[in-house]
Amino acid sequence: MVNKLIIYFDGASKGNPGLAGAGAYIEAEPFQEKYQFKLTKYLGRKTNNQAEYQGLILGLEKTLELLNDGLEINELLIKGDSQLVIEQILGNWRVKSQNLIDLYEKCIFLLNKITNFGVHYKAVHLRRNLNSKADELANEAILNRV
């Protein structure tokens, strides 16, 4: 039985804007290897904040896919080192940057779909050093262009 999924997300941009990548690491609680995922996406030229949002989108899309395939969870815990993304998806901060509005709206759309499965979500800001798995994946996406 899986009680909770945890998404760690991150984005990286070399130059800001520059070559960018997104990463997400997902694990189940209690831990089950079949619900452990490492996701990467090369983004081309983007800002760091765009890459951060793309990392979250990777994790949310995979979560929705798992729910559609029959996984039952009670909670989704979202963790990232981007305070901007965390505060915006929680509704605490407005989305002012035009280049983030579509990404924000996609996240909210995916979160609404996830909550339709009866899943509650929480989002917390992490210190950068506690987000190393997602950070490595975002940088791997840039390095390997995957």
User: CA 9, CA 25: separation in Å to the nearest integer?
Assistant: 6
- Please report whether residue 120 resides in a domain: yes
- pLDDT tens, residue by residue, 66-121: 999 999 999 999 999 999 999 999 999 999 999 999 999 999 999 999 999 999 99
CA of residue 54 relative to chain centroid, distance: 7
pTM summary value: 0.97
Indicate the number of domains in the chain: 1
- Please report whether residue 101 resides in a domain: yes
- Please report whether residue 146 resides in a domain: no
Residue 26 near residue 35, CB atoms below 8 Å: yes
CATH at 52: 3.30.420.10
**Residues of the domain holding 117:** 4-141
Task: Sheet containing 4-14: give its strands across.
Answer: 37-46, 18-29, 4-14, 75-80, 120-125
Is the preceding omega at residue 30 within 30 degrees of 0, hence cis?
A: yes
Write out the H or E segment, with its range, that includes residue 99: helix 98-115
